[in-house]
Structure 1
Amino acid sequence: MSHPLHDVLTRWKDAFDHHRPDVMAELFTPDALFQGFGPVPTVGRESVRSYYAAVAPDRRADVTVLHTYALGESVAGGFADVTFSDPAGWEAKVHLSLVLRRDENDWKIRQYHVSRTAPED
């Protein structure tokens, strides 16, 4: 059985690459803490949906899982390197950390935080 982080990030990447902000929001818990590129952390699915709706639809994400962990049967998480890019050559490399919580039989993102690894060009 693979770690839940792999499954969640596979679904996250698919929704991101196909610019589906509603699907993205459903990957998060209703009370998720979210820190994207913006300077202020936000809370909740609606803020996640709004954030991803504002992302250019031609952007893609390349994800490499670096580390996973589990705390009991209902909490897991880990770290990944993500490179966001677009066809014009824009690129942003980040570290992504996630905390996941199992809600019934599905894993959801409870906490999401990115930090840039290099300045934006």
Structure 2
Amino acid sequence: MNTSSILSTVLDQWKAGVDAHDPDAVAKVFTDDAIFQGLHPYSVGPAGVAEYYASQPLGMKADYEILETRQLSDDLILGYLKVAFSFVDRPTLDVNLSILAHSNNNTWKIAHYQVSKLS
């Protein structure tokens, strides 16, 4: 499986949780020590991820496009993406997203998540 396919598998799970407003499902895609930086102060671990997504408005959806990938080692992939978060009551928010996906026993999860707003 190539790096884009691996990241798509992980990100499709992330997107499904975001779109369903299921913070626990989103958090399951992250490692126990994941560094998570959304548009609020950072957190470490799935509990912070779940708290962040629980605070997001109902109806928020995420659409992503993988722009670049790099295989850093057998168990680590860097991904750079464009993500559009859409809402029912406000304009779409376009952001850049960098992630590091880590494999443990052939299970890939997000170990680092860094969002930055586009101008």
C-alpha displacement at 1:88, in angstroms? 2.4
Distance 2:42 2:87 in 1: 25
Distance 2:114 2:96 in 1: 8
Q: Percent identity?
A: 37
C-alpha displacement at 1:67, in angstroms? 0.4
C-alpha displacement at 1:60, in angstroms? 0.6
The residue aligned with 1:87 is: 88
C-alpha displacement at 1:72, in angstroms? 2.1
Unaligned runs of 5+ in 2: none
Q: Does 1:14 align with 2:16?
A: yes
The residue aligned with 2:46 is: 45
C-alpha displacement at 1:14, in angstroms? 1.1
The residue aligned with 1:106 is: 107
- Please report the RMSD computed on the Cα atoms of aligned residues, expressed in angstroms: 1.1
Distance 2:55 2:88 in 1: 17
C-alpha displacement at 1:90, in angstroms? 2.3
TM-score normalised by the chain length of structure 2: 0.93
The residue aligned with 2:26 is: 24
Number of aligned residues: 117
Distance 1:26 1:47 in 2: 11
Unaligned runs of 5+ in 1: none
- What do the CA deviations read for 1:40-67 (whole angstroms, capped 9, x no partner)? 2211110111001111120011111100
